[in-house]
Structure 1
């Protein structure tokens, strides 16, 4: 995986093969950040990266000037990798090793952008539960955006906070506000 833009543009990051993850593809990530660029001023936002896996999305936000990022994943090898990589890249990423659904049950703070990339084999109703927890827990600041990456077979547009979705190959990004 590589960082698409910002101060670390072009940097390649190789995750250990033992990590049980499916990083967002460079093509999909570039498309997502092209959309986000029109919505936010990166240097002024707080980001919550749920199911952060390799930290791919967190590094991209950090490279673009976000200095307040929280990455949550339940896999200790993933969180250790994110901590080490963030340190090596000199990025400010607070890493939490916890089940995302448990983490969301106890609101701590609110964010401008919440990005979630749950495992694609998670049942569709769990994706909807995730969206509901973010909104019920007030995890988003006013005018904040929730972005959920999921398989294109899933349709999350029944949620009342659904705004739009974009397909990129087998990936879909659903946007909520």
Structure 2
């Protein structure tokens, strides 16, 4: 895996093979960050990376100047790898080892972007818990986005707060946001 842009552009990060992860492809990451780059100043946002895996999305945000990044994963090997990599590159990552759903139920941390990359094999009920908990607990800033990565075979368009999806190869990003109060009236 490589970091595709920013301060650490081109740096390779080699995760141990034994970790149970499926990193986001470079093509999909590049497309996602092109979208985000048109809407946010990376230096001014906060990010919550759920099901962080080896941290590839978090490294991209850090490389682009984001200073407030929290990574959550329940796998000890993943959180240790992210912590070690963050220390090596001097990236501002806070790493939390926790079940993502328990974390979402208990935290009051608000973020501009919440990125979730759960296992593609999750049933729809598990996928639906992510936006449900994020919006129920008001964890997204007003101008923020929840982005859920999933297989192109999974359809999240019927979930509350769904906005739109973008697909790149076998990867799909579904975007969720708070309703715009100005357009509701």
Same-fold status (TM-score > 0.5): yes
Asked whether the 8 Å contact 2:49–2:71 carries over to 1, the reply is: yes
For residue 56 of structure 2, what is the aligned residue in structure 1?
A: 56
Structure 2: distance between partners of 1:35 and 1:127 = 22
Query: Which structure's CA Rg is the greater one?
Result: 2
Which whole-Å CA distance do the structure 1 matches of 2:109 and 2:116 have between them? 16
1:141 and 1:162 map into 2 onto residues whose CA distance is 16
Rounded Cα–Cα distance in structure 2 between residues aligned with 1:17 and 1:153: 26
Check the 8 A contact 1:163/1:176 in 2, yes or no.
Answer: yes
1:60-71 correspondence to structure 2 within 5 Å: 60-71=60-71
After TM superposition, list the pairs within 5 Å mapping 1:144-159 onto structure 2.
Answer: 144-159=144-159
Deviation at 1:25, TM superposition (A): 0.5
Q: Which residue of 2 aligns with 1:142?
A: 142
Where does structure 1 differ by over 2 angstroms across 4 or more consecutive aligned residues? none
Asked if the contact 1:43/1:66 (under 8 Å) is kept, the reply is yes
Q: Is the 8 A contact 2:147 2:173 kept in 1?
A: yes
The match for 2:176 is 176
Aligned to 2:21: 21
- Which position in structure 2 is the counterpart of 1:9? 9
Query: Unaligned 5+ residue runs, structure 2?
Result: 178-185
The match for 2:86 is 86
Name the CA distance, whole Å, in 1 between partners of 2:77 and 2:108: 24
Instruction: Please give the per-residue CA displacement for 1:139-160, whole angstroms capped at 9, x wherever unaligned.
Output: 1011110000001111111123
- Are 2:124 and 1:124 equivalent residues in the alignment? yes
RMSD value, Cα: 0.6
Structure 1, residues 101-145: CA drift from partner, whole Å, max 9, x if none?
000001222000000000011111110111111111111011110
Identify which range, 91-100 or 158-167, moves more after superposition.
158-167
What is the alpha-carbon distance in structure 2 between the residues aligned to residue 101 and residue 78 of structure 1? 17
SS in 1 for 2:106: coil
Aligned length: 177
SS in 2 for 1:121: coil
Structure 1: how far apart are the matches of 2:129 and 2:160? 13
Measure, in 2, the Cα distance between the counterparts of 1:102 and 1:160.
Answer: 20
Give 5+ residue unaligned stretches, structure 1. none
